[in-house]
């Protein structure tokens, strides 16, 4: 009985063997490429092994071993790379794509503020799918818009003072980010929430009943990630000073206290000034106007809103306060400090570029 042609031997050069071994060891290499390299390396290391034996050892099909063994013998290492796939030639030329991009960026449709894929497809005479693909390839999203606010503070260089505290805090000192989240509403839907179930998200009534508001004062310990918080009925200077008393009682007496806060009027009253004069270990660092993003406690406020308040149902301000304090307790039980990464120079350079861009824009 004939057993068919004998399998051709795979004999690697030292360079080929080293290249394939590096591919197998490389982190992040594609699994398909690694498997092809292992097929060839095994065939080289065990010249007596059949294709079936190699397939069993590597957990793949015999035909895969035959295919990549033959391709290697025919084209060496280049044979292990996928050949370009055939397909219909591209029907939309570079000139057409460029014209569509220019139209998207520099014009707007009649009777609308921005282009949609359908409106643009009708305008340029191509399919909606093609317009969508081109926009996606160039990162264009005409349906989206974001807001921004540029600080007009002539002393915007205060960024260096605040960021310096984050990146290089003083010795024997505590850095606190302090702010208020005013007018948090205790709201309750007019109907019970319909819980999530397979195939359907949670649903709640679009209208709601109001049960009052509370104002949250919070101080974030930058290094530890813990929160000192207090809910009060109003956010006047007297409430702010009372909150400072609470923070003073919680801070070790042998540490200086550096406080990052914004330029709200309640932070600069005579009442607060007199309180600070009696406590020389306290040092205030004001962020530039319209730059609340420099205060890291704003990040914690965002988490509080998203995880606790946004979808909460509170039948009274007491229930709202209890939920807020429970979230504060949870934060302090498992604190995760925010990590500030940008230097003051990077921030100032970015703001400068953005100001130049807006001043030069024709829109």
Contact status, residue 264 vs residue 270, Cβ threshold 8 Å: no
| Distance linking the first and last C-alpha atoms of the chain | 83
Record the tokens describing residue 96, joined without a space: 């057409």
Enumerate residue ranges in the chain where pLDDT < 50: 1-2, 4, 363
Q: What single DSSP character describes residue 60?
A: S
For residue range 191-233, list pLDDT tens digits in order. 988 989 998 999 999 999 999 999 999 999 999 999 999 999 9
Indicate left, alpha or beta for 163 from its phi (over 0: left) and psi (-120 to 50: alpha).
alpha
Report residue 216 CA to chain centroid gap: 26
Which pLDDT value is given to residue 329? 95
Record the tokens describing residue 347, joined without a space: 């921030």
Which pLDDT value is given to residue 180? 95
Record the tokens describing residue 92, joined without a space: 């939309």
Give the Cβ contact number of residue 235 at 10 Å. 19
What whole-number distance in Å separates Cα of residue 146 and Cα of residue 131?
22
Pairing of strands 227-232, 173-189: unpaired
Partner residues linked to 230 by β-bridges: 217
- What are the Cα distances from residue 211, in Å, to 323, 324, 349? 15, 16, 46
Contact status, residue 208 vs residue 334, Cβ threshold 8 Å: no
Contacts by residues 16-20 (CB-CB < 8 Å, ≥ 24 positions apart): 16/76, 16/77, 17/41, 17/44, 19/77, 20/77
């Amino acid at each position: 009985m004939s057993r068919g042609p004998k399998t051709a031997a795979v004999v690697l050069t030292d360079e080929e063997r080293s290249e394939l071994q590096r591919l197998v060891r490389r982190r992040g290499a594609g699994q398909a490429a690694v498997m092809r390299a292992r097929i060839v390396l095994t065939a080289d290391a065990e010249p007596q092994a059949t294709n079936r034996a190699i397939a069993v050892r590597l957990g793949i099909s015999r035909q895969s071993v035959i295919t990549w063994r033959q391709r290697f013998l025919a084209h060496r290492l280049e044979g292990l790379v996928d050949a370009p796939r055939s397909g219909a030639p591209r029907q939309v030329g570079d000139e057409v794509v460029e014209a569509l991009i220019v139209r998207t960026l520099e014009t707007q449709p009649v009777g609308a503020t921005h282009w949609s894929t359908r409106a643009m497809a009708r305008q340029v005479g191509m399919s909606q799918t093609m317009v969508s693909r081109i926009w996606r390839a160039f990162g264009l999203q005409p349906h989206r818009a974001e807001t921004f606010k540029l600080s007009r503070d002539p002393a915007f260089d205060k960024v260096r003072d605040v960021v310096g505290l984050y990146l290089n805090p003083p010795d024997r000192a505590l850095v606190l980010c302090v702010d208020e989240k005013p007018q948090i509403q205790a709201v309750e839907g007019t109907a019970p929430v319909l819980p999530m179930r397979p195939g359907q998200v949670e649903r709640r009534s679009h209208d709601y009943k109001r049960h009052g508001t509370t104002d949250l004062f919070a101080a974030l310990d930058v290094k530890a990630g813990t929160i000192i918080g207090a809910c009060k009925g109003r956010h006047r200077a007297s409430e702010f000073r009372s909150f400072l008393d609470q923070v003073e009682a919680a801070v070790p007496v042998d540490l200086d206290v550096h406080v990052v806060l914004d330029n709200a009027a309640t932070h600069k009253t005579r009442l607060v000034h007199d309180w600070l004069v009696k406590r020389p270990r306290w040092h205030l660092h004001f962020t530039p106007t319209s730059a609340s993003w420099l205060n890291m406690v704003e990040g914690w406020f965002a988490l509080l809103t998203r995880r606790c308040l946004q979808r909460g149902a509170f039948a009274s301000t007491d229930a709202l306060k209890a939920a807020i304090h429970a979230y504060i307790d949870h934060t302090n039980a498992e604190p995760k400090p925010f990590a500030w990464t940008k230097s003051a120079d990077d921030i100032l350079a970015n703001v400068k570029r953005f100001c130049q861009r807006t001043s030069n824009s024709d829109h």
